[in-house]
Structure 1
Amino acid sequence: MRRPFRVLLCLAATALGFTTLSAPAYAAAENYVALGDSYSSGVGTGGTYSGGSCKRSTNAYPRLWANTHAPASFNFIACSGAKTADVLNSQVSALSASTSLVTISIGGNDAGFVDVITTCTLGSDSTCTNRVNQAKTFAQNELPARLDNVYNQIKQRAPSARVVVLGYPRFYKVPGSCSVGLSDTKRSAINSGADTLAQVTAARVAAAGFTFVDIRNAWTGHEICSGDLWLNSLTWPVEESYHPNKNGQARGYLPALTAITG
């Protein structure tokens, strides 16, 4: 009975050896391209940015993922201020048949993110609500075709890639403990805009056969006016406002992406 026992031990050891070797081999074969806007480039995390006006941060989730997974190649193309047209005109060219992983956040700037925040900060409750409703109408009626164009281009240029589309968080805790800032009416309106954007994006991602990461639940308890912010409120420099901070990237986006990619 000892000989079969030894054989079993050898087989087990061999299987374990193959398992141990396969994970690094798979990671080393990953060719990762990170597309998208400022939520992917890492604006809001402070420090020094690269890529000129694209403001790519070493604290952004694509860079953090690459640091921990050591892919065979990593192309960080995400750019602050990007809209769907910018992805089509200057980002998707980085994709190829060898690309095996693509991440992207896009659509917020198309829907007028900056103008919504500005209007709600400076205007009345009704002015804010009206502007958010305009953004929601755009997201429901015009954004789907724009997203489809982006996703179709990604599929054509990187047909074998896993494509992960990451959404945007709700901005505010309502009611929250902010001593100053926007009213609960404005906060609720802005959050409803984020919900509409998530719903529209999720539908188009599903139609494309990609994976959508809804970040809203992970962000619960970490919105502006909560006790543990993962999102900047109005801050300096102003362009850092209403963007994920270091914790938002490292504790919000990175774990969500890692849960999908393994």
Structure 2
Amino acid sequence: MTASRLPQIVTALAIGATLSAGSVPAASAAPAYTEYVALGDSYSADATLTQITTQFVPEGCVQSSRDYPKQVAAALNVPVFRDATCSSAKTVDMVGSQSPLVGPPNPPQFDRLTPTTDLVTVGIGGNDIDLMSAALRCGSPTAFGSPCKDRWTINGVDKISVNIANAQAKIVGTLDGVRERSPRARILLVNFMAGVTPGVSCYPMVPIADGDALWLADKLIELNAMLASAASQVGVELVDTYSGSLGHDACQPPGVRWVEGLIPFSADPPGLAVPLHPNQLGADFQARSVLAAVND
């Protein structure tokens, strides 16, 4: 399959339990790809406070030693692999250095691309629209109302929705930039898992007001729809991690949830966690979703 193939949405619901449970497939004997580069933000770095690695990026990127790109690279037995993913990354960090909160900068992520790169995953966009920063400030002393939504709605206009619409050109530019630098590459745009599920709130387990939980779920759907549109516009594949992750949101108990809540602790693996980010179960599911797309 070439990078010019019309995009397809790889829905985990459609292929059943193969993606929703079980381990990542073992490495193939003969590599189908020779040079894999992973680009993206904290949802691709699977940001962690217990499994940080500096193999590919500075410590401030809080990149996990078991993020989905590393699992994909291992399963595909790729000879050359570079993981540029970094927490808080935006599309501008593809072409410019990013300065994490601590430590040295992460070089432009596009610097890892070469003309011989033949597989690229991209997971970006959440920080461009300010959704994560909004969600992290949505903690509420009560379950009633929608204070976070109200704060982001000015004169009846939802600022996050405006940001989502404006971000499509940035995503398209990113995908075009990958294709320009690595014309042989198969490009997969990976969307965002369902950290919040429509109609599901669990105050005070996740201390976000019920109205804001609904609002965040709606914004996530809007974001993923924009990513699908961008993928279609450029002609790359979209890997849908959202559909198969429904029911594994932050409101679910340990062992079931794939995204942690506002309380910075995880059972998978045990220890401090990055709020509202994938735990190891979520990273494993992302890896299975990408591998299902690659092997299709």
Provide the TM-score with structure 1 as the length reference. Answer: 0.83
Q: Once the 2 structures are TM-superposed, how far is the Cα of residue 171 of structure 1 from its aligned partner?
A: 2.1
CA distance, structure 2, for counterparts of residue 214 and residue 68 of structure 1:
19
Equivalent residues, number: 237
SS of equivalent to 2:50: coil
Structure-2 residue corresponding to 1:25 = 30
Conserved in 2, the CA contact under 8 Å of 1:61 and 1:254?
Answer: yes
Structure-1 residue corresponding to 2:252 = 226
CA distance, structure 1, for counterparts of residue 161 and residue 210 of structure 2:
19
Q: Once the 2 structures are TM-superposed, how far is the Cα of residue 186 of structure 1 from its aligned partner?
A: 1.1
CA distance, structure 1, for counterparts of residue 257 and residue 120 of structure 2:
28
What is the aligned counterpart of 1:196 among 213, 219, 222? 222
CA offsets 1:53-93 (integer angstroms, 9 cap, x no match): 11221110001111222102000111111000001220112
Percent sequence identity over matched residues? 24
Q: Once the 2 structures are TM-superposed, how far is the Cα of residue 236 of structure 1 from its aligned partner?
A: 3.2
Q: Once the 2 structures are TM-superposed, how far is the Cα of residue 207 of structure 1 from its aligned partner?
A: 1.0
The answer to whether residue 65 in structure 2 is matched with residue 47 in structure 1 is no
Structure-1 residue corresponding to 2:293 = 260
- Note the 1:40-119 alignment, pairs <5 A: 40-44=44-48, 46-50=50-54, 51-89=58-96, 90-119=108-137
Q: Which amino acid aligns with 1:242?
A: L
- Note the 1:109-188 alignment, pairs <5 A: 109-122=127-140, 125-130=145-150, 131=152, 133-140=158-165, 142-173=166-197, 174-180=199-205, 181-188=207-214
Q: Once the 2 structures are TM-superposed, how far is the Cα of residue 94 of structure 1 from its aligned partner?
A: 1.3
Q: Once the 2 structures are TM-superposed, how far is the Cα of residue 127 of structure 1 from its aligned partner?
A: 3.1
* Higher alpha-carbon Rg: 1
Q: Once the 2 structures are TM-superposed, how far is the Cα of residue 45 of structure 1 from its aligned partner?
A: 6.8
SS of equivalent to 1:35: strand
Structure-1 residue corresponding to 2:236 = 210
CA offsets 1:11-40 (integer angstroms, 9 cap, x no match): xxxxxxxxxxxx63343x421000000111
Q: Once the 2 structures are TM-superposed, how far is the Cα of residue 43 of structure 1 from its aligned partner?
A: 0.4
Answer 1 or 2: which has greater helix percent.
Answer: 1
The answer to whether residue 242 in structure 2 is matched with residue 235 in structure 1 is no
CA distance, structure 2, for counterparts of residue 100 and residue 150 of structure 1:
17
Cα RMSD (Å): 2.1
Answer 1 or 2: which has greater strand percent.
Answer: 2
Conserved in 2, the CA contact under 8 Å of 1:172 and 1:187?
Answer: yes
Q: Which amino acid aligns with 2:174?
A: V
CA distance, structure 1, for counterparts of residue 44 and residue 93 of structure 2:
14
Which 5+ residue runs of structure 2 have no aligned equivalent? 1-27, 97-107, 266-271
SS of equivalent to 1:32: strand
Provide the TM-score with structure 2 as the length reference. Answer: 0.74
CA distance, structure 2, for counterparts of residue 44 and residue 222 of structure 1:
18
Which 5+ residue runs of structure 1 have no aligned equivalent? 1-22
CA offsets 1:118-157 (integer angstroms, 9 cap, x no match): 33214883431232731111111x1011112111110100
Q: Cα 1:176–1:125, aligned 2, differ >3 Å: closer, same or farther?
A: closer
CA distance, structure 1, for counterparts of residue 148 and residue 203 of structure 2:
18
